[in-house]
Each structure stands twice: as structure tokens, then as C-alpha cells.
Amino acid sequence: MSAAVPGKARDIYIVGLRNQHAVENQAIELLERQIGRLKNYPEMEARMRQHVEESRAQARRLEDLLARHDTSHSGLKDTMMSLVGNLAALGHTPAPDEVLKNTMANFAFEHYEIASYKSLLTLADLAGEGGARAALQTSLREEEQMAAWIAEHIGPTVRRYVERSASGQTAGV
């Protein structure tokens, strides 16, 4: 590995930390918008509330990692990603099958976050930032657990939606 690689990797790593901080803000916005609409899916509401707190902790861990480099998150990126999160959450609101659409979108989003944290772990290694591994691995593990929870609940969510629809009840949220 050339001498330039660790320096360039560090630059890319810092950009990645900022990007992931913005993604965590987007996740919080998405989940908070959905939580208020899940009265017929209380276990999903509870798990999402837990994941909002995990996402807030992840954002704080990213802020701590950025502070080690005398930098901070990007307010502009955070604002833009929060706006995107709000718009994405609102996009499914009028759909009668909102809960199904959100479940699929959340599953995909969690896997995006998993890939992002795996990338950050590689970048941290390349940049010689071994001290970041524990924080990044904790966040990765939380995202993997959320993705697994969603995967386990896709079938039951679809069943509940169909049962509620068939009985004439509000099914979407």
C-alpha cells in the first residue's frame, strides 16, 4: 500500500462519517413519521421507537468519531437527508397498504445502513482508525438486528394487513 493511501482513506472516511450521520437523521425522520401511524401494529411501533433511540445513539457515536478529527457533521447534509426522510415517509401515507410499503422500504433502508457501516469499518482500517471499530461495530450490530426483526415480521405484518382488510377494518396503519 502506498503512503498516500492512508491519508486519502482518512479523507474518504471522514466524508463517510458525515454522510452516515445524515443517513441516521434521515432514519430518525422516517421512523418518527411512521410511528404515529401504527396504532394497528403495536409491536412494530414499539420496535421502531427503540430503533429511533438506537439511531440517535448512532448519530452521537458518529459525532464523537468526527470530533476526533476536529470536524463535525454537515448541517446541510443532515437537513437535506431529513427532508428526504420526511418526503419519503409522506409518500406512502395516502396508500391503503402504507404499512406494507413502509415495511419493504424499511427493510431496504436497513440494508443500506448495514452496507454503509461495513464500508466505514473498511475505511477506518485503511485510514488507521482502529479506535473507531467498536463504535462502528455497535452501530452495525444494531442495524443488523433491526433488519432481522423486520425480516421476521414481514409475514406476520402481511397476514395482519390481509386479515384486517378482509374484515373491513382499517388495515394500512
The answer, yes or no, to whether residue 45 has pLDDT greater than 50, is yes
The answer, yes or no, to whether residue 140 has pLDDT greater than 50, is yes
Cβ atoms of residues 57 and 150 within 8 Å: no
The answer, yes or no, to whether residue 164 has pLDDT greater than 80, is yes
Give the side-chain half-sphere CA count within 13 A for 105. Answer: 18
Query: What SS3 state is found at 98?
Result: helix
The answer, yes or no, to whether residue 74 has pLDDT greater than 70, is no
The answer, yes or no, to whether residue 35 has pLDDT greater than 90, is yes
Which of 15-19, 43-47, 83-87 has the lowest average pLDDT? Answer: 83-87
| Terminal-to-terminal C-alpha distance of the chain | 53
Domains recognised in the chain with CATH numbers? 4-166 (1.20.1260.10)
Helix axes 4-35, 98-126, angle to 10 degrees: 160
Instruction: Report the C-alpha gap between 165 and 158 in whole angstroms.
Output: 10
- Region 30-49 average pLDDT: 93
| pLDDT at residue number 36 | 86
Instruction: Report the C-alpha gap between 28 and 34 in whole angstroms.
Output: 10
Residue with cell 482500517: 125
Helices and strands (H, E) in the chain, number of each type: 5, 0
- Region 78-86 average pLDDT: 50
| pLDDT at residue number 92 | 46
| pLDDT at residue number 75 | 55
The answer, yes or no, to whether residue 78 has pLDDT greater than 50, is no
- Region 18-44 average pLDDT: 92
The answer, yes or no, to whether residue 77 has pLDDT greater than 70, is no
The answer, yes or no, to whether residue 147 has pLDDT greater than 50, is yes
- Region 35-45 average pLDDT: 92
- Region 57-84 average pLDDT: 75
Higher pLDDT among residues 127 and 91, named by residue: 127
